[in-house]
Structure 1
Amino acid sequence: MKCMQCGGSMTSRQETRRSYGGLERVIMEGVQVRHCPDCGEEEISYSNVEKLHTALTLQLAWKEAGLTPREIRFLRTYLGLSGSDLARRMGVTKETVSRWECVDKPLSMGPMAERLLRLMAVREQPVTEYPLERLEHVATTEATPLRVRLKPRKQDWTVELST
């Protein structure tokens, strides 16, 4: 494969990456990475991206701690919604959504808004059963980033929660 920057020949290997989609504590194992030894350009290839996003979305929806701003943005993006679209669907202003996603000075979503966002994300999934009683405990503690390790497996992804 040729480098898009300089036209040089790229090498490829599997690596572990320590973030994905703005989520800092998500560890991606077995990711195909192409490197250009000439200019240093790098291309990352994720297999089964739809299933990867589904796995991450379900982990975010099921975690008990509150969602971080980056996690809120990931779920909104996963749903394919702009900030204005999400605001309209949740009955808030677009400025409120912007503050929820602000990393520097985030505005807490509150448990009801978080439950709604999580349900929206899960509802869009090909999930046959979702235990609604799990939502009783979400967003009852301070927001902390999801810690998870993902590994490719055939046509899917395995998920291991990190501590």
Structure 2
Amino acid sequence: MTQAKYLHIRPARADDSAALIAILYSTFQSTWRPAITPAAAGAYARENRPADYVGRCGLEFRVAERAGEVIGLVHWRNDFIHALHVHSAHARTGAGAALMDLAEAEIAHAGFPSARLETDTFNTASQAFYAGRGYVEAGRYPDAEWDSGLTTLLLEKRLG
């Protein structure tokens, strides 16, 4: 039996905020921090972007919980998946796939023919994950979020 079978996915609650912020900081440190400029990393910390994001949108998240611990999150609106994050200590345990399964099913159920999301060209691990799920490149453009000379990929997957 895989660890994914022990997952519980549920809507986020207000008391999940600290865990959600910790997940966002964890994935920042392991994924984006090595690829962005020191100035961009400083702005991320100074602006406390994880707390801001959770404060604005956290109750829209679905979370993955294992043994009572919130270990991952997914956030989408309409056909666009804004965030998929799994705490680095729980990476590659099936939580990301389970969260994406839910998001894609809900997007399809809402009547959208495809799901869209963004990743950066440096993030080859996420590109491989999404390609394995059937996502294909639909565009590329300068990354405006990090002001670090990165390139964003728009990925799309036909649903149903």
| Interval containing the TM-score (normalised by the shorter chain) | under 0.3
With normalisation by structure 2, the TM-score equals 0.27
Pick the structure with more helix per residue.
2
Pick the structure with more strand per residue.
2
